[in-house]
Structures are given as structure tokens and as C-alpha cells.
Structure 1
Amino acid sequence: MDGKEHTTSTTTERSRDIFRAGIILAVSTAISSVCYLLVPIGVLLVGGELASHLGMLVPSLLSVVAVPLTPLVIAISVFTVIDEIFGEDHKGIDRGWSLGIIIGACLLTLIWFLPLWGQSWPILAEKLRPLRVSVLFDDAWVMGLTWIVYIPMMMYVNLGAIVTDNTSSSVTQERQRAGSSSVGASSDPANQPTQDIDGFSREGTGFTYNWDSAPDTGFADIGGMESLKTNIERSVLRPLTRIDEAYERFNVSPPNGILLYGPPGTGKTLFARAIAGELGHPYLELSAGDIKSRWINESTEQVNQLFAEAEQFDRCVIFIDEIDALLADRGNDLHREHAQVVNEFLAHLDDENPNFLVIAATNRADLLDEAATRRGRFDQQYEIGLPDHDAREAIFRVRLCELPTALDEDNYHELAERSEGLSSADIVGIVDDAAMHAAERDAEAITLADLHESFPNRFTDKDT
């Protein structure tokens, strides 16, 4: 694999995630607070009306049951809808729901005992007075006894329901994990639990392959190569995400597989991670050389296992590096086992409605079997060559943007000139080595001299 194609999420992405989580928490809290304030009041109003016709006993008994349960039923209905919209943040919704119960119960308590404190804070009492219902008696003992019957019971039942639901979900997940582990990789994939994109965790899934959640990497983490990003956005991302109605209108099908080719170290693995990150799908990264070494005597079964695991997701991305070692031209390979692997793999790529995107990378596209590049397979091919001047400058900027530096605009231009002929991985290595030099001398920032010192020896002559 390209050795140094690692990156972290940008500050903008982290800020967006924090903002989104805050919005989910705030909306959930506000809705829950209103629900647990107004619904009990509404129940008591109905109970008061019934009492005028049926007497106090029956409406009182009905209210004792309805006050705790009615808000729960309404809240579950509302939060089911919210869960469909913000399904990736169950914890944020549950926290907001719990906090809203507490806030609603506190406001309801203020209204319940309003006659006892209303004279001390008349302005607040006047604002809350319209919410007070006639069945909340003014006698202090009656207020206290009815509050004990209604409010603590409501909080106990509703908070308990949230805790019980979370506990049941955890127990179910543990049982599923235990079952998957006991059956092992040879079990029927259809019996394994379907893994959701949101909240995906590879621990204990019982999968053979090391699936992971969507990478934090995105196109913003790749320096330069703007035209390539635009082409992939148009031909891969937009058809897969269906953000444009025109794609649906003209039935534009997303690709099953794409091929990235070019010299070593040019950023093929980083691009694959960025595509998976932009899509937000679970991600599997494999080396074809490792796969072939595991598939001796059971190659086709392992191919089927790979795609059967992929079916457990709504959508996923599979990246296979050194694909030429797996799908080499069958005419150049005398082993029957190899031909079976190629046939089985390509058969899965022919799926008419796949839930996967296979991204393959190679340094030698000319070695691939001709059938692999047919329409519907790896028919979309993108060359990732050595970066040009602008791309080299952009890579330096991306790699150095979160590090303390003492560089100006001319320095970045000079670094791009100096690094002509270097790959993306070479530039990443230069920045990493320069950071090490700066740390060794306990510097405040990386200097141009640190970067010059980190260039390969064959490029240092450019200074002379």
C-alpha cells in the first residue's frame, strides 16, 4: 500500500459534528420538555371535566394511570420520527429526552405549587398561572399528596423506559455478538445481524474481515488534484448519493467498481479513503497479496464470504490494493485456482443493484485481466500520477496547516518548485521528517531549513 497516506479529520469537520450533536440535543430537550409539561396538564384538564360528570373517583384513577403513560406514548411517537432523521446519534436523542423529562417535571412542579410561592415571585407566577388547572387544589396538604402520586411516578416510569430500552438494546447486541463468535466465519452470513452504517462497530461482529466505520478523510484532506476530485464527484459520488434529480430522471446507475492506477506513493489509498469518507459508508481496506495468501484451496468460498459480509450493510466501500495480484490476466496464469478466483470476483461485480462500491488500486493496470475492465466492472479508471506544481504546493499546505510553522507564501512556492518529481508520499515524508527535526531541537515552529534538510539527497543539489 502507499506507505504514508494517513490523515486526520479537519477542524471544520469536527466543528460540524459538534454543532450537529448540539442541535440534536437541543431539539430533543425542547420537544421533551414541552411534552412532559403540557401533556400532564392536558390529562388533568380532561380529568377535571370528567369529574364534573362522573364524580372524583373514576377520573382520579384514570389520571393516575394517564399522567405517567400518555407523555411516554406521545414522546415515543415523536422521537421515532426524530430517530429516522437523526438516526446516527441515538445517544444525543436519549440524553435530550431524559433532560427534557427532568425540565418538564420541574416546570410542572412550579405550576403545581404555585399558590405557595406565587406571592414571592409575582411576575413569574403571573406567567405560569394560565397553565394551572382547577383540579390542582390550593390546600398545601392536597398539593403535596397529589404531587407525590403524579410527578415522581411520571419521572420513574418515563426515565425507566429509556434506561430499559437502552439496556435491552445492549443485551441484544451482546447476544448477537456472542452468537456470531460461537458460529465463526463459516456460518451463514444471513444469520448474522445487519450492521447499520450509523453507530457501526466492528468489535464482536464475527466477521472474517476487519470492517471499519467511514474514514474521517475527505477530499479537503487531499492537496491539489482538483480536476480528478471533480471527475470523481460527478461520476461516482453524485450517482451514489442521488443528490441530483436529473440522475434519477435519466436512470444514471452508480458504478460497481472504479480503478485507481499510477506510480507508487501518488495517493491512491488516500483517494480511496476520501471517497469512502465523502460517502459516509463502512469501509474495508485489503491488500490483494494478503487475500491470495489466505485463499489457497478455498478461494471462491472466501470471495463469497467477502461479498456476503458486504451485504450486511445498507451501503459499503471495499478497497483492494495491488488488484493486479488478484485479477491478473488469466492467460498468463496456469493455475486453475486463480481462474476460479477471477471468475467469482467478476461475477459479483456484475451485480445489477449492488450495495457496495469496490475501489481497486494498482501500479500496473496493463496486467489486469481484460474482463475486469468491461462495462459494469472496473470501467471507470482514474490515473493518479505524480503531483504537478500546484498539487505539490497544496499538499505541503494541507500537511502543514495544523502544525506550527514559520513559512510565508514564497516559501510554499519554493517548496513546490524544489519537490518536482516527488510523489505525494514523498512530500508527506518530508513534512513528517521536518516535524521530527523541529521537535529534536525543541523549536517553536517548523522552518524552511527543517524542510530542506528532510528532502531526499538527490534533491538537495537544487540549493547549489
Structure 2
Amino acid sequence: MVTLSDLKGSEYLAGLVRENVVEAVKSGKEGSNRVVIYGPPGNGKTFLAKAIAGELGYEFKDVKAGEIDEGLPDVQGKTLLFLDEFEKFMDVQEIRDSIEDLSEDVLVVGGTNHPWNIQGLSEAGFNSLVFMPEPGPEARKAVLREFLGDGAVSLDLDRLAEMTDGFLPVDIHNTVEAMDEITQESLEERFGGSNPTTLQEWMEEAITQRDRLDRTAYKPLLEWLDKQ
């Protein structure tokens, strides 16, 4: 079970969520059981939802957009129901009605990359919005430690965090996974024909071969945020 304490390097975000979501739910504040988490894809929205569930001691259940035709699962008691690609759920009137009919004990959390596409949030009771920004240097170091395990001990994480500026958690994960796919041509160009001999060198080479966050795709979200 994960909790907000597991958001290493994102203590500020964890504090905001603890105050504005977790404590509100615990106190029974009206409307606190309907939350939307938004931000770029691959940035840890599902992980944050699991951390909220863990913090509250709730059961965690998630439903993917592709499962809409099956309707919402039958959830009872203290449960966090995470609806990924939330905008697609809100497009289906029957699903919206089902959300409104859920017990007050059920915390419904929607995850979306496109909050501007969702109509009727307030009418459906979703007044609490949480923005997941791209991770800063400390958060990227925490993600590197998580994905590299014991190997992270020997690394210059400050340098790797600097090199991964603009990377999302999913980008860092894919970089680690792709280290065995580095091309011989890139090795010869960077190391003069000799292979990298340390994990640090392998990581740096893998990072240079990956694309950072697509700012073009990110632009609509930034523009939407500016208007809020």
C-alpha cells in the first residue's frame, strides 16, 4: 500500500493533497468525495490516486475508459474509485448518472490529460481539482532511485536529474528499460568505439537518445491553466 509519504521529491504536492483532499474527506466536508486529477500523460496520476486511497485506508478500484460499456463496478463502503480518461466517462449520460448515485462513502477520482474537454464538472459535484505538474529535480531523483533500485547508489543522481529535465516518470521508466537497446553507432560516436563501462555512462547515453516531454502536446494544457 502506498501513501502520500511515497511521493518522494513532491512533498509540496503531497501536502496540498493531504490538506485539500484527504483531510476534507475525513472531516466529511460536502463535495469532498468528488475529485479530478489532471496533468500530462504518464505523470503519475494513478499513483497519486493510490496514495490518496492508502492515506485514507480506502480500497482502491480503477476503471479504464475502454470498460465504459460494462458500466461502473458495484462498489460499497470506503472505496476510492479511479476513472482513467475521465472525460470519456463524463460523455456518457448513464455513467454520469451512475456516479451521482454512488454512496457518499465512495471517493470518486477522475484522471484526465484534457480537463478542458470535460463539461458539467461542477454540476456533477467535482469541485476539487488537483494538478499534477511535471516532476522537479528532487522528484526525478526519487523516480530514478525507484526504477534503478540498488544500482542508484553508485550514480551521480544530481547530474542525471539535470539531464532528465522535462522527463515525466514514464519517460524515466522507459529510459531505464531501453538501456539494452542503445545502438552501436551511438556508442562509437560518444565513446570513440569503446563501450560504456559504468551504469552512469549507460544511463547518460540512454537519456541522450530519448525525447523529452512533447511541449506541443502539452501546450493546450498550459493554455487552459492560464485561463483558470
Fold-level similarity (TM above 0.5): yes
Cα deviation digits, residues 271-314 of structure 1 (max 9, x gap): 111111222222211112322xx24xxxxxx44xx3xx212x3x
Cα deviation digits, residues 208-231 of structure 1 (max 9, x gap): xxxxxxxx2223333322221111
Decide which of 232, 246, 256 is 2:17's aligned counterpart: 232
Letter of the 2:24 counterpart:
P
Assess, with a 3 A threshold, how the Cα gap between structure 1 residues 457 and 310 changes in structure 2: closer, same or farther: same
State the partner residue of 2:151: 404
- The count of corresponding residues between Structure 1 and Structure 2 is 197
Identical aligned residues as a percent: 25
State the partner residue of 2:88: 325
State the partner residue of 1:341: 95
Q: How far is the alpha carbon of 1:459 from its aligned partner?
A: 5.6
Assess, with a 3 A threshold, how the Cα gap between structure 1 residues 398 and 256 changes in structure 2: closer, same or farther: same
Give the Cα–Cα distance (whole angstroms) in 1 for the partners of residues 43 and 198 of structure 2: 24
Structure 2 residue matching 1:386: 3-state secondary structure? coil
Give the Cα–Cα distance (whole angstroms) in 1 for the partners of residues 126 and 198 of structure 2: 42
Give the Cα–Cα distance (whole angstroms) in 1 for the partners of residues 25 and 47 of structure 2: 20
Decide which of 66, 73, 78 is 1:289's aligned counterpart: 66
Structure number with greater CO (CA < 8 Å, separation at least 6) is 2
Q: How far is the alpha carbon of 1:453 from its aligned partner?
A: 2.9
The normalised TM-score by structure 1 is 0.39
Q: How far is the alpha carbon of 1:383 from its aligned partner?
A: 1.1
Structure with higher strand content: 2
Structure 2 residue matching 1:260: 3-state secondary structure? strand
Which residues of structure 2 form unaligned runs of 5+? 182-196, 213-228
RMSD: 2.7
Q: Which has the larger radius of gyration?
A: 1
1:56-455 maps to which residues of 2 (within 5 A)?
216-241=1-26, 247=27, 252-253=29-30, 255-291=32-68, 294-295=69-70, 302-303=71-72, 306=73, 309-311=74-76, 313=77, 315-328=78-91, 338-342=92-96, 344-348=97-101, 354-370=104-120, 372-374=121-123, 377-400=125-148, 402-405=149-152, 407-408=154-155, 411-434=156-179, 447-455=199-207
Would you say the 8 A contact 1:406–1:446 is kept in 2? no
Q: How far is the alpha carbon of 1:406 from its aligned partner?
A: 5.0
Give the Cα–Cα distance (whole angstroms) in 2 for the partners of residues 284 and 258 of structure 1: 15
Assess, with a 3 A threshold, how the Cα gap between structure 1 residues 366 and 386 changes in structure 2: closer, same or farther: same
State the partner residue of 1:21: none
Assess, with a 3 A threshold, how the Cα gap between structure 1 residues 413 and 451 changes in structure 2: closer, same or farther: same
Letter of the 1:364 counterpart:
H
Which residues of structure 1 form unaligned runs of 5+? 1-215, 242-246, 296-301, 329-337, 438-444
Would you say the 8 A contact 1:288–1:321 is kept in 2? yes
Give the Cα–Cα distance (whole angstroms) in 1 for the partners of residues 198 and 122 of structure 2: 45
Letter of the 2:122 counterpart:
T
Give the Cα–Cα distance (whole angstroms) in 2 for the partners of residues 231 and 355 of structure 1: 22
Give the Cα–Cα distance (whole angstroms) in 2 for the partners of residues 459 and 280 of structure 1: 38
